[in-house]
Structure 1
Amino acid sequence: MNILVVGASGATGSQLVTQLLHQQHFVKVIVRSPDNIPNSWKEHTHLQLITASILDLSDHDLSEITRDCDAVASCLGHNLTWKGIYGEPRKLVTDATKRLCKAIALNHQEGKTKFILMNTTGNRNRDLDEPVSFAQKCVISLLRLLLPPHVDNEKAADYLRTQIGQDHKAIEWVAVRPDGLINEDQVSDYEIYPSPTRSAIFNAGKVSRINVAHFMATLICNDEVWEKWKGQMPVIYSTSQDN
């Protein structure tokens, strides 16, 4: 398969690329600096490195990059610095999602392209009646005011839900919602649910980044798993953690 990964130099994105390369897929990555990726990637015959800021690429460039892709995975996020949280671009994830989907649609490929967005359990799936306590609603409302990245994650998923929807002619999508992210060296057992089974604010669970990457890779490569979760926002927890 041919797969584009954006946000590939991040902690989860790099795990996803490594797993896809291990499975012998052809992977394109867009990164702002080649200094932030492993040297082994630069020499890998199945990896195409595109050095650019994704929002600086033209519509034509993105169309060419996505033209032969069976799947596009976004692991984009904001750096946890003052500039990363409050500086520009404040709508990095949303704008990249919109532009990538536009590029895919303009290519008029046969069949549909899979789009996988890494999101967060702090964002509700408004297609479902997900119960949220009054206290959590208050905290989320405060996060919307104080943390632009939270709003960015919400709007990116909302774009997939409301604009791409369930019957798009060119795109099928899944928004993966991990809970509290941690680092682990090996893939472990994990569980997938349609909605959170615990409060993302007051009783958060844990999931390793390598497990999130494994699930995203499985969505890309396993059609049975894809059919189960397409058009949804599954939540992932590691079962090996003391949740």
Structure 2
Amino acid sequence: MKVLVVGASGATGRLAVDQLLNQGVEVNAIVRSLDTLPDHPNLYKIKVSVHSLTSSEMATHIKDCIAVVSCLGHNLTFKGMFGQPRLLVTDTLKCICRAIKSNETRDAVKVILMSTTGNSNRDIPEIPPLSQRILIAILRVLLPPHLDNENAADYLRTQIGQNDKSIEWVVVRPDALVDEKEVTEYNVHTSPIRNAIFDSGATSRVNVGNFMAELVLNESTWLKWKGQMPVVYNHA
């Protein structure tokens, strides 16, 4: 069993890799530096700028993988927030999906995308509190990474949809990310139960990684959330 993790160098991506390795999964990890992750017999580190990969190159890394986990995000620097590539997550996701289709696998590949509770599921649709809607509208104009997150999820919802034979997907939405050493009890909801901006709840990165691993390995968990945008909160 093999999984490709994109954004494996990041704070959450590293933990997702660790959770998968702990459960015996082979991991292809795209990293910015080979020193980002410790060596492991089931880990193959791919040092490359993910945005520079062509679909055919991506297809070689996805070959034989049952799932692709994307923890990709923009660096919290001025260049990372406002520089190029502004559609890093969306463009990479499109490349991943093209690569999966070009591989012509017999079984659908799972695509798991990390997003945020500030990104509403417009399939339901969700109606966030007015204060949140106002601020999100401002962020959509002023903060390119937020629009990138929305576009990436919208691509899965509207372009891949629910009946694609090659790709099945889940968009995982943590709330305010925090660092914890161990997996703790957490709750998963169909939609946010709090104001994502003014009353956010904590979600540990390691719990996000654990839930992503559950989606990969536990078929009942996958069938429950396939084609949805579940929200993860630490148990209060």
Normalised by the shorter chain, which TM-score bucket?
Answer: over 0.9
User: What secondary structure, in the 3-state scheme, does the structure 1 residue paired with 2:173 have?
Assistant: strand
- CA distance in structure 2 between the aligned counterparts of 1:61 and 1:97, rounded to whole angstroms: 14
Q: Secondary structure at the match of 1:120?
A: coil
Supply the AA of the counterpart residue of 1:228.
Answer: K
Structure 1: where are the runs of 5+ without partners?
A: none
Q: Which residue of 1 aligns with 2:5?
A: 5
Q: Give the match for residue 14 of structure 2.
A: 14
Return the offset for 1:129: 2.5
Deviation per residue, 1:94-147 (Å, 9 max, x gap): 001010011001111111100000000000000013122222211011101111
Among 189, 196, 200, the alignment partner of 2:192 is 196
Match of 2:111 among 115, 118, 140: 115
Aligned amino acid, residue 233 of structure 1? M
1:191-217 alpha-carbon deviations (Å, 9 max, x no partner): 000000011011111110000000000
1:12-161 alignment, distance < 5 Å: 12-35=12-35, 37-38=36-37, 40-41=38-39, 44-161=40-157
Aligned position for 1:232 = 228
Partner of 2:210, secondary structure, is: helix
After TM superposition, give the deviation of residue 67 of structure 1 in Å: 1.5
Task: Tell me which stretches of 4 or more aligned residues in structure 1 moved more than 3 Å.
Answer: none
Provide the rounded CA distance (Å) in 1 between the counterparts of 2:136 and 2:149.
Answer: 12
**What CA RMSD, in Å, does the superposition of the two structures yield over aligned residues?**
0.9
Q: What residue in structure 1 maps to residue 179 of structure 2?
A: 183
Q: Which amino acid in 1 is paired with 2:21? A: L
Shift of 1:63: 1.2
For residues 33 and 182 of structure 2, the distance between their equivalents in structure 1, rounded to whole angstroms, comes to 27
Contact 2:54–2:95, Cα closer than 8 Å, also in 1: no
Q: Alignment partner of 2:20: what SS? A: helix
TM-score by length of 1: 0.95
Q: Give, in whole Å, the separation in 1 of the partners of 2:132 and 2:94.
A: 29
Equivalenced residues, count:
236
- State the one-letter code of the partner of 1:119: S
For structure 2, list consecutive stretches of 5 or more residues without a partner in the other structure: none
User: What TM-score do the two structures reach when normalised by structure 2?
Assistant: 0.98
Cα distance in 2 for partners of 1:162, 1:31 equals 29
Distance in 2 between residues matched to 1:134 and 1:127, nearest whole Å:
19
